[in-house]
Amino acid sequence: MAASNDLAHWRGQVFDRLLQVVLLLGCVTAIPSALLAASEAIWSIVALDLLAIGWIDVIWHLRAMPYRWRVWQFLIVAYLVGVGLLLKIGPVSQIYMMLMPVLAALLLGMRPALSTLALTSLTIFFLGLHPDVALHLPGTPDSPVLRALIVALNFLFIAAVLTLSCAFLLRHLEDSSQTLSQLNAELRLTATALARLNDMVMIAEVLDGPPGPGAGTVSATRIIFVNDAFRRSSGYARAEVLGRSLLFQQGPATDAGELARIAAAMASAQPARAELLNYNKAGKAYWVEAELVPFTDADGRQTHWVAVEREIDERKRSEADIHRLAFYDVLTGLPNRRLLMDRIAHLLAAAPRDQSISALMFIDLDHFKHINDARGHATGDALLRLAGERLAQLMRKADTVARIGGDEFVVLLAHLADDLHGAAHAAAQVAEKIRTAIARDFDIEGQSYHCSASIGVTLLPKAGQQAHDLLREADIAMYRAKAEGRNGIAFFEAVMQADVERRLTLERALARALDMGQLCMHVQPQVDRDGRVTGAEMLMRWPQPDGSFIAPGIFIPIAEESGLIVRLGHWALREACRAARVLAQAGQPVALSVNVSPAQFRQPDFSSRVQAALAEHGTPAAALILELTEGLLIDQRDASLARMRELATLGIRFSIDDFGTGYSSLAYLTSMPLYELKIDKRFIDDTPRDTAIVQAILAMARHLGLRVVAEGVETQEQADFLVAHDCDGLQGYLYARPMPLADFLAWLARQQA
């Protein structure tokens, strides 16, 4: 339909121009012709010329009339002029008759053209019978009909050739116009779609000739089109972009390797896809995903490149966030365990080629838990961030500082030296710098906090060891540094691994002994100044098949580290209740003290377990004294106080074990439902030097109305000093060693005899 409209419009324009030309030529030729005809008194010619010019002028001015009506009027004029000239001038005027079918083909189409062709041919034939029109044709019979027929047929042939040629040409033009119209519509749709795409589109033509020196393959292109999305994203106006090369937005941070890969693909006319960092007009960088596609002409010659780009800043940020969460610690921004293990593995893989020694350090902040619990996690987190910053400032670019959890950091020192001695010396120097840096006070919101670090060091590579093996060695060395007093440095030695394996063996054996009931409780009496028994402490023992015992100082720390201490504590609590019942049934009711670990005391069901143990053995609550450590005074203080008061209402009494060695504030004592304090054995051993400390504890206890028991009394001198200063209870080898319950009953009987 659009093509037909275009052709009709074209025909209308041609017809209007034709009328103009005919009027102009008519004025130039027909008027002189009419004047000549008038001079010769050929009035029919004068009338015909003037009629034709006038008629055509009327057609010209009647533009409001339908197009086909005007054309037919024009063709009628042409036909009448032709007929008139044939009659007046003769056969030479046949050329005028040819005008009608040819113009019909041009202005109306095939069917009107054929109709007018038939009309003019018949007109030539019948007029050929007229004596003024007929021609003498040599070599033909003297027959008017035959002569007219020959002339008409020849006219028909020539006119048909011209008419049909024009008709076929217009038909082809109409088909081509329809195709072109469809293509134009598609191009308009495509152009509209490209202009409104959210993706950026650039089209560049390939320039003839090689690129300039050092310019690269991309310089041989020239942008000829960019869409609106490109203008919005880049900030460039279309005029500022046209004529430039495709990758003109590259900048200092654009990946040179990616650009080289694209250039290589373009040099071989291959499609390319890449993620590039582009720069907009303001110089701001933004990520795009670019796809470049070459276009070739019918001869296979590359003519254009089309580049489609999509902004991927959001995706890149998401990828960076995912990468950061996967490989970096959220709190400090340092590499996490996963990235650390990966870098250790890479260093080990490269070790055979590098032939250099590196070091791995495990760093643990000493007593960090006290700061974290006392001041809150916000302060603890701030301290960890500051510690991470100090560590990072000490390292080289080739080194790695990682936080692997809690207050634990790991440092990987790469390529320290080519020999073990040099590497160990360099590692020791760095470790000392770390220890000194962490020991400096941390300023957090105007408050100063002190912390130290225990550092374990191991060297690598070692034959057959993987990343986790080295990390375990550094961890073991760090625990050796802690065991030696903290705030120190220890290098891993093979004997440490043996110690760890021995501890693991003991841990498994302890769990098995607990399951099989191989542990037992011994009793050590407490006496007053007159030697009378006032209580006793239940002490855990681990007998061995050979009759020896594993000391509590060995297996209790293992139980605490492994978590077995909770099970051991519950078992000891039940055993104390059972022993109290046995003593009561034997007529020797003695208050029994039993140690409760912080981990056991913090169990949500601790109070119910105490009540269940008392009920199980029918033991009165007053017969039980729970010994707690000073750590409970600052660690979860409110929850601990609530639990102590709950049990105190049942009649349970509380004692602070190893008093004077912890970090609690003495002010907390007034808020706790305490019964007694136990002076640590270390103060008793050093009584000549620490008399002031012991005297202060005794005086404070009297002021607070608390009973005091001194542990580790082994000499009469110690006992005399304590008695002289009104100590309520004495416990130690001077009076009795810990013994089984049956032996304790016998000992009590002897004391009363």
Highest mean pLDDT among 217-221, 623-627, 687-691: 623-627
Give the pLDDT band (50/70/90) at residue 635. low
DSSP-assigned beta bridge partners for residue 279: 285
Tokens 């729970």 belong to residue? 626
Buried/exposed 681-710: b ≥16 CB within 10 Å, e otherwise: bebbeebeebeebbeebbeebeeeebbbbb
Among 237-246, 270-279, 292-301, name the one with the lowest average pLDDT. Answer: 292-301
Tokens 């004068």 belong to residue? 46
pLDDT one-digit tens code per residue, 711-742: 999 999 999 999 999 999 999 999 999 999 99
The answer on pLDDT for 744 being more than 90 is yes
Indicate the pTM of the whole model. Answer: 0.48
pLDDT one-digit tens code per residue, 102-137: 888 777 877 887 888 888 878 777 777 766 655 555
User: Do the Cβ atoms of 429 and 435 come closer than 8 Å?
Assistant: no
Looking at residue 218, its pLDDT comes to 47
Question: 400 is written with which tokens?
Answer: 């790695």
Query: Within 13 Å of residue 405, how many CA atoms lie on the same side as its CB?
Result: 3
Looking at residue 463, its pLDDT comes to 78
C-alpha dist (Å) from residue 158 to 42, 89, 117, 435, 723: 31, 21, 11, 113, 152
Distance CA 273, CA 155 (A): 68
The alpha carbon of 726 is separated from its chain's Cα centroid by a whole number of angstroms, namely 70
Q: Considering just the CA atoms, what is the radius of gyration of the chain in Å? A: 56
Give the pLDDT band (50/70/90) at residue 455. very high
Sheet holding 452-460, edge to edge: 400-405, 408-417, 357-366, 452-460, 489-491
pLDDT one-digit tens code per residue, 143-175: 777 777 777 777 777 777 777 777 777 777 666
Question: 556 is written with which tokens?
Answer: 């209790």
Say if residue 32 is preceded by a cis peptide, omega within 30 of 0: no
Contacts of 256 (CB under 8 A, 6+ apart): none
Of 627, 618, 568, give the one whose Cα is nearest residue 592.
627
The answer on pLDDT for 242 being more than 60 is yes
Looking at residue 217, its pLDDT comes to 44
